[in-house]
């Protein structure tokens, strides 16, 4: 029998406390204590409380070092007829062995260990039991054919409590949405619900309190060709543009058509060979059925847009075809065409951009890809596993935000089903920001490729992800590092790049219209301002687009930036050194980005590390 003093600190976030009974168990290499109640329910475990409890715990052998007591488990049982709805959040547990006066500090997570690092039967059984319980709680389901598997939960209410928003996050999310929808309702009442706009200037009438400097810049410059090209590189979907060495066969553009857009003493063939011609191809939109809103049909195009890197004017569009099949009713629009025809053609490209960006680049390639990693991690890796600890901050809240949006955003018959069949590939150079950090952490816990191969929990984890086109086995540390870098980069920098600027680029509706109420033009000379106004979203649709993009793209008040963690997942000195070094590198990157943007009229700050959230929470 050993006497321990246990200090339990309750979390400080709102509603962290509980009125339930809290029980503690010490698990050591030589035994496990009986489950022991920590005092009585009540103020001992209220928000921010620090409770000191003397306990007599029996272990098979005295445990007097942190290495001996490998983990601390706690459980809460209801103290009343009905369970306390609040979720108990621990900051840390510290234990003092009075006989030897040794202080053992335990954050909520114990020392990181792979499966081969735990040799005691009690600890191995603890890992196995934990995963069995998790696999009952977190189950896979296929929402629709062709869509990545996801958590088996219809709504956020079906998720376990520790996967859901805490009350502060939930309150902010709902307040933000209600605020946006309230302003939406007031605008619709003020401007007339369902009414069409009379003129492009009328769109300014929905800029009330919801506004941003970039959105107002869009309002002024959206018609300019250089600004169209700028958004291809710096907007919410910079991965759409590709270099074009040879014109597509279904885009019959001739050198004479675009010569007026070329610089002096050059032509289309020379610029193609020089690598200065680029392409936006929305072929994935071809054949997508259109939607109907309140009885009125909406329309979709599948444009091909050719761009040229002009030495003086920057990246500019030089030809646009609004459908994939050329023909008499599919003209090629040029900058030399009537101004309104060229303007409407660019609007159609931006409309297609809105669809692909929201459903493919944003929803599929960040939210749903990360959900696969999230569910597999929760099902196959125990909390003590170093890879669980590494990924845990980057999957926080992902399940709830996905459940909230799934029924609204996924269409079984529309564009989403089609884009799911496209590649989910990543460019390894994209995630340099975190690859070095990941490699350093992995190498602390895996000394060789053999260690990766022999980690049965890790191999079960990759098999759970296999359905998404990844290898079914990890053979080396390099493979593991690449996969983890993809997961962390996608949940942080990639999501920030696609999500955080959507209000900026979409609030001025003509710049990126969410829907089109008339079919694409087939006659350049027939385009009028009345046709443009009849095509663009009406008052109701415009207000809704502004409200939703503001709600989703706004800065989160509770955001935890990349490199910062609210919980001490790692306690080992070497791991903490790697984390500190990563934070220092992020600070240097932040300084460099700010320096590069200094003096620019239009700054790109979406990938400042301080503005990249640690996980997908919105």
Residues in binding site for Fe cation: 362, 367, 495, 618
DSSP labels for 423-452?
-----GGGGHHHHHHHHHHHHHH--SHHHH
Instruction: State the binding site.
Output: 17, 39-40, 84, 362, 367, 495, 618
Ramachandran region, residue 374 (left: φ > 0; alpha: ψ -120 to 50; beta: rest): alpha
Can you tell me which residue has the tokens 């990545």?
Answer: 148
Torsion of CA 328, 330, 334, 336, to 10 degrees: 40
Q: Give SS3 for 2.
A: strand
How many other β-carbons are positioned within 10 Å of the β-carbon of residue 178? 11
Determine the Cα–Cα distance for residues 379 and 132; give it in Å rounded to an integer: 8
Q: Are 316 and 231 in contact (CB under 8 A)?
A: no
Determine the Cα–Cα distance for residues 607 and 431; give it in Å rounded to an integer: 12
CA end-to-end span of the chain: 50
Cross-strand pairs, 321: 304, 332
Determine the Cα–Cα distance for residues 215 and 412; give it in Å rounded to an integer: 32
Name the DSSP class of 472: S
HSE-CB of 358 using CA atoms within 13 angstroms: 25
Determine the Cα–Cα distance for residues 235 and 502; give it in Å rounded to an integer: 8
Burial class (CB in 10 A: 0-12, 13-18, 19+), 404: middle
Residue 327 makes CB contacts below 8 A (sequence gap 6+) with: none
Determine the Cα–Cα distance for residues 449 and 461; give it in Å rounded to an integer: 17
Instruction: State the binding site for Ca(2+).
Output: 17, 39-40, 84
Nearest 5°: the CA angle 207, 213, 215 is 55
The residue ranges of DSSP E strands in 190-273, in sequence order, are 242-243
Q: Give SS3 for 310.
A: strand
Determine the Cα–Cα distance for residues 136 and 131; give it in Å rounded to an integer: 9
CA–CA distance from 476 to each of 79, 185, 439, 483 (Å)? 49, 56, 12, 11
State both tokens at 437.
Answer: 């950090």
């Amino acid at each position: 029998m050993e006497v321990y003093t246990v200090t339990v600190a309750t979390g400080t976030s709102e509603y962290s406390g509980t009125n339930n009974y809290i029980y503690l168990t010490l698990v050591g290499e030589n035994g496990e204590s009986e489950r022991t109640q920590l005092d009585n329910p009540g103020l001992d475990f209220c928000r921010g409380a620090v409770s000191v409890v003397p306990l007599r715990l029996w272990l098979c052998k005295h445990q007097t070092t942190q290495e001996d007591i490998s983990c601390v488990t706690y459980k809460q049982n209801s103290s009343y007829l009905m369970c306390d709805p609040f979720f108990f959040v621990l900051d840390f547990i510290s234990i003092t062995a009075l006989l030897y006066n040794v202080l053992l500090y335990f954050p909520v997570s114990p020392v990181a260990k792979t499966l081969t690092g735990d040799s005691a039967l009690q600890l191995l059984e603890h890992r196995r039991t934990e995963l069995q319980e998790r696999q009952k709680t977190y189950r896979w389901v296929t929402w629709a054919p062709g869509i990545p598997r996801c958590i088996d939960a219809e709504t956020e209410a079906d998720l376990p409590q520790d996967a859901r928003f805490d009350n502060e996050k939930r309150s902010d999310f709902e307040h933000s949405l209600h605020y946006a929808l309230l302003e939406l309702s007031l605008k619709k009442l003020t401007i007339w619900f369902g009414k069409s706009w009379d003129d492009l200037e009328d769109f300014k009438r929905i800029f009330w309190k919801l506004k941003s400097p970039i959105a107002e810049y869009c309002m002024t410059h959206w018609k300019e060709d250089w600004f169209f090209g700028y958004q291809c590189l710096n907007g919410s979907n910079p991965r759409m543009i590709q270099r074009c060495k040879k014109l597509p066969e279904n885009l019959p553009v001739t050198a004479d058509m675009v010569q007026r857009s070329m610089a002096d003493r050059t032509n289309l063939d020379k610029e193609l060979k020089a690598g200065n011609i680029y392409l936006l191809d929305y072929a994935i939109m071809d054949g997508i059925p259109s939607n109907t809103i309140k009885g009125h049909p909406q329309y979709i195009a599948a444009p091909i847009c050719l761009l040229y890197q002009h030495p003086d004017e920057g990246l500019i569009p030089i030809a646009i075809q609004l459908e994939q099949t050329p023909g008499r009713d599919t003209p090629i629009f040029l900058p030399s065409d009537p101004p309104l025809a060229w303007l409407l053609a660019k609007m159609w490209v931006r409309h297609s951009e809105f669809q692909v960006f929201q459903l493919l680049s944003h929803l599929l390639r960040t939210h749903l890809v990360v959900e696969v990693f999230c569910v597999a991690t929760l099902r196959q890796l125990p909390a003590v596993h170093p890879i669980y600890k590494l990924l845990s901050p980057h999957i926080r809240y992902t399940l709830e935000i996905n459940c909230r949006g799934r029924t609204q955003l996924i269409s079984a018959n529309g564009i989403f089903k089609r884009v799911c069949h496209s590649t989910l590939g990543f460019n390894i150079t994209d995630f340099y920001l975190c690859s070095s950090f990941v490699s350093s952490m992995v190498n602390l816990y895996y000394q060789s490729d053999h260690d990766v191969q022999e980690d049965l929990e890790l191999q079960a984890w990759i098999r759970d992800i296999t359905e998404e086109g990844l290898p079914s086995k990890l053979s080396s540390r390099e493979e593991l590092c690449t996969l983890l870098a993809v997961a962390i980069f996608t949940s942080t920098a990639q999501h920030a790049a696609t999500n955080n600027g959507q209000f900026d680029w979409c609030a001025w509706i003509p710049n990126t219209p969410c829907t089109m109420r008339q079919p694409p033009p087939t006659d350049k000379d027939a385009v009028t301002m009345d046709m443009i106004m009849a095509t663009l979203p009406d008052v109701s649709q415009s207000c809704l687009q502004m409200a939703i993009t503001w709600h989703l793209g706004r800065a989160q008040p509770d955001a935890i930036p990349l490199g910062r963690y609210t919980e001490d997942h790692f306690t080992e000195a070497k791991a903490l050194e790697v984390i500190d070094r990563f934070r220092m590198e992020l600070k240097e990157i932040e300084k460099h980005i700010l320096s590069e943007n200094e003096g620019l009229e239009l700054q790109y700050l979406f990938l400042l590390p301080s503005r990249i959230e640690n996980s997908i929470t919105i």
